[in-house]
Structure 1
C-alpha cells in the first residue's frame, strides 16, 4: 500500500468564494472582547477559549441550522471551512460541546454579547443602506418551549397589564382636563394604588419551564411556547428588532416599545404595517404622535350588548357631540372610563327619558341598575377613523401586502434553516438568546447577499 503526501494548509482547503470567507470579511467581532473583558482573569486560572471563537461557534449553529450543540462539535471537527472560520488548524481539537454549557453556567453575563451581536449586524446593515425606515412590518411567531404538555399545572396568577397602563396615564389626564372644560367638573387624578389594575386569574404553567407560556389560539398549535416578536424592514428583509415573550402574551403588548426603539435607535420610521392583532386604539394615537403612518388590518367589530337595540340603531351627531336614540332622545358625553381595553368616552341618556320610553324593553336589560342607556366610544376614535379612512388606497393595501410577504417569509426562512422551530434550553433569557442568534444569522446572510 502506497501513501501519498500532500503539502497543504487549511487556507488552501477553503474555496475563495466560500460564504464564511465573505462573513469573516464583513463582520468585525472585536467588540466581543470589550463586552467580555470583565468576565476573564488575566492572572489566575488556565487560558480560556477565545470568546470570539465561542461566539462564532454558536453563530455557526444558527447560520447552518444545526439542531444541537453536540452536533456542532462533530461538524466543526470534520469541516475545513468551519475550522478555518474558527481559526482552529487541522491538527487542533475543536471546543467540546460542554464548553458552551459551562460558559452559560459560570458566566451568565456572557449572554449580553448576543444582543450586542444582533445590534451590530443591524447597524452595519443601516450603514450599507439596506435599511431605509420607509416601512416597518411587525408580527410574531411561536417557538416551541423545551417543556411537554404533561408538565402543565394550573396556578392562581396575578396578572398585570404592565406599562400599557402607564402609557394611558397621560392620555387619561388629558381627557379629564377636556371633560373639565366641557362640564366644569372632573374626578381626582388616578393614584398609583389603583392604576395598575391588578387582576387575579387562573393560568396554565409548566413545572419544567415556568417562564414559558401556554398558547391556545385559533389555527395555532396548543402547548407551551415562546413568542418571537420581530420588526422587519421590507427593503431587503433585515430584521431590525426582536422581543421575546411567553406564549400567552398578546402580540400588542411589546409592539409600541419595539417600534419606538427602532424609530429612535435604529432608523427613523415613516410608516408601520401590522395585522389585526396590533389594531388597538392606543397604537393609532402613539404612532400618530411619532409621525409614523399606521397601516393595520382592522379587527372585526363585536357588539356584545345583550339588549335588542344594538349600537347601530343610534345616530351620532358630530357637530353637537351627542348620540340620538331611535326615540329621538340625546345621549350626552358624561365621563371618561378606563378598562383593560383602553380609554372610552361614555355617552349617557337621561334616566327620565329612558323611564318613559316605549322602547325601554328593547333598549335596556332588566338587570341594568343605572336605568339609562349608555354607549362607549374609544378616546382615540378620531385618529382611528382617520387611519381606516385610507383602507382602500393603493399604498395602504401595498403596505399590508409587504407585511405578509416579509413577515411570513422571514419566519418561514428562520424556521426552515435557522433553528426558530424549537428551543434547546429553558427560560426566557435562553429563549431571547436563541431568537436573537437566529435573527442575526438571517440578517448576515441577507447583508452579504446584497452587499456583494
Structure 2
C-alpha cells in the first residue's frame, strides 16, 4: 500500500543535538580527539590588539582549514559553503546549528597577516608531530626522505627570459618574497645558474619537466618520515632542483633532532641523496647510516676498465691498475703548490704516460687518451661505507620502506588534491605544505585510533 503524502510542517519546538548526528566512527570525530588548539591561541595573542572590535575566533579558522585539507576542499569559498551545510563539519568547528560561518575573505587577510607572521601553520604541524610521538607512533630508528614536485599557481605559457627581465611594475607579493629568498639555500641560493624561464607572477617557482610530464612551474615539497608508521616528522618547501632538496633534507634532520629529540640510526633515500657531500655529512657529522644508493658516474659503456677494476692503496695513497702500475695524484713536483682536489671535491689519480704507452692492456684501459686517470672523492670513505651497507640484508628492507614516503605523496595529490598550489610565492608554498602535512598526520592518528577501538570492541 502506498504511504500517505507527507507535508512539511513547522514544529513549535525542536530538540536537536549535533553530537548525536555525528557517527561514532566518523573521521572527524576521531581527529577531534587529537586536536588541541589552546596553545595556538596563546601563540597568537601578541599579534592581536588589546582594544577594538573582537575578531573572528582564530581557532574556528584553524578548524575550518583542517577540515578543508583533510577532505581535499581546495577552495576557501567552497569550504565556507561546505561548513555551512555539513553537520559533521559544523560539529568539528564548534559552530552549532545557528553559528555564523566567516566569510572566505577572512582567511586571506589572516593568512597573509598574523598567521604568516607568527608562523602559525608550522606550529600546528609540529603539534601533530608531538602528538604522534606521545601516542607511540614514532619509532625513531629509521627515517626516509624524498621530494615531490607540486605545480605552482602560474601559467606555463606566460614567462619572461631570465630574472633580469622582471620589470619594476611587477612588484607583487610573490616577487617581493622571491627577492627576499635569493640567498636562501633552498630557493634562490640553491644554484648560481639563472633559470631560462621565469614566471612573472611567481618567480621562485622553477620551470621543470623532472616529473616526467610536460614542463611546468613547480615547487618541491620535501618529507622526512618515520618509517615505522609513515608519520611525517618534518616538511620543507624548496625550489624544484636537486641541490635544494638535499639542503632541505639536512635542515629537516637537524630540526627533528633540535625540536623533538629524534636522532635516527639510518636514513633511507634515493640516488639523489647519494652525493659525496651528503653521505659524508650523514656519516661523519651526524653518525647516521646512509641507506642510500651512491651517486656514481664511474661506470663505462664501452667495455673499458671501470674504477672498480683499480685497487686503492691507502698507505701509499695511490691506485694500482690491472697491469700492476700505480696512479698517483702527482707524478712530478711543482714549483708552486697546487690543490689536490678540484672545486667539486675530487682528486685525479694519473698514470705515467710511458707506463700506459707500453702496456698491452691499453686498448682495454684507455684507448683514446695517452694515459689513464681515475677520480676519487675526498669523501670516498663515506661512499665506501654506503656501498658496504648496500650488501647487507637490511638494505632490501630499507628499499621496501622507502615506498612509504612515495605513498604519502600519492595520497597528498590524489586524495587531498594538492597536485597544484593555490597560494603563490615561497611563503604560500610553505603554508600549504605545512597544512597538508598536518592533515596527513591527523588522519594517520585518527585511523590508527579507530583501528584500535575496533580491536578492543
TM-score for the superposition, normalised by structure 1: 0.81
Contact 2:320 2:326 in 1 (8 A): yes
For residue 56 of structure 2, the aligned residue among 49, 61, 75 is 49
Contact 2:30 2:446 in 1 (8 A): yes
Query: How far 1:365 moved relative to its partner?
Result: 6.8
Q: Which has the higher strand share?
A: 1
1:188 maps to none
Q: What does 1:73-112 correspond to in 2, within 5 Å? A: 73-107=80-114, 109-110=116-117, 112=119
2:402 maps to 403
Q: What does 1:19-418 correspond to in 2, within 5 Å? A: 19-44=27-52, 46-107=53-114, 109-110=116-117, 112-155=119-162, 199-217=192-210, 219-250=212-243, 251-266=245-260, 267-289=262-284, 290-299=286-295, 301-302=297-298, 311=307, 314-324=310-320, 329-334=325-330, 335-339=339-343, 342-350=344-352, 363=366, 374-404=373-403, 406-418=404-416
Contact 1:215 1:222 in 2 (8 A): yes
TM-score for the superposition, normalised by structure 2: 0.80
Query: How far 1:198 moved relative to its partner?
Result: 7.9
Query: How far 1:110 moved relative to its partner?
Result: 4.8
Once the two structures are superposed, what CA deviation does each residue of 1:47-99 show, in whole Å capped at 9, x if it has no partner?
Answer: 10011111111111101111211110110110111112212121232011111
Runs of 5+ in structure 1 lacking a partner? 165-195
1:175 maps to none
Residues 75 and 318 of structure 1: CA distance in aligned 2, closer, same or farther (over 3 Å) = same
SS in 1 for 2:349: strand
Contact 2:294 2:383 in 1 (8 A): no
CA distance in 1 between counterparts of 2:393 and 2:162 reads 48
Contact 1:213 1:249 in 2 (8 A): no
> CA-atom RMSD, angstroms?
3.3
Runs of 5+ in structure 2 lacking a partner? 1-6, 165-178, 331-338, 453-457
1:15 maps to 23
Query: How far 1:389 moved relative to its partner?
Result: 2.0
Residues 433 and 235 of structure 1: CA distance in aligned 2, closer, same or farther (over 3 Å) = same
Residues 156 and 312 of structure 1: CA distance in aligned 2, closer, same or farther (over 3 Å) = farther
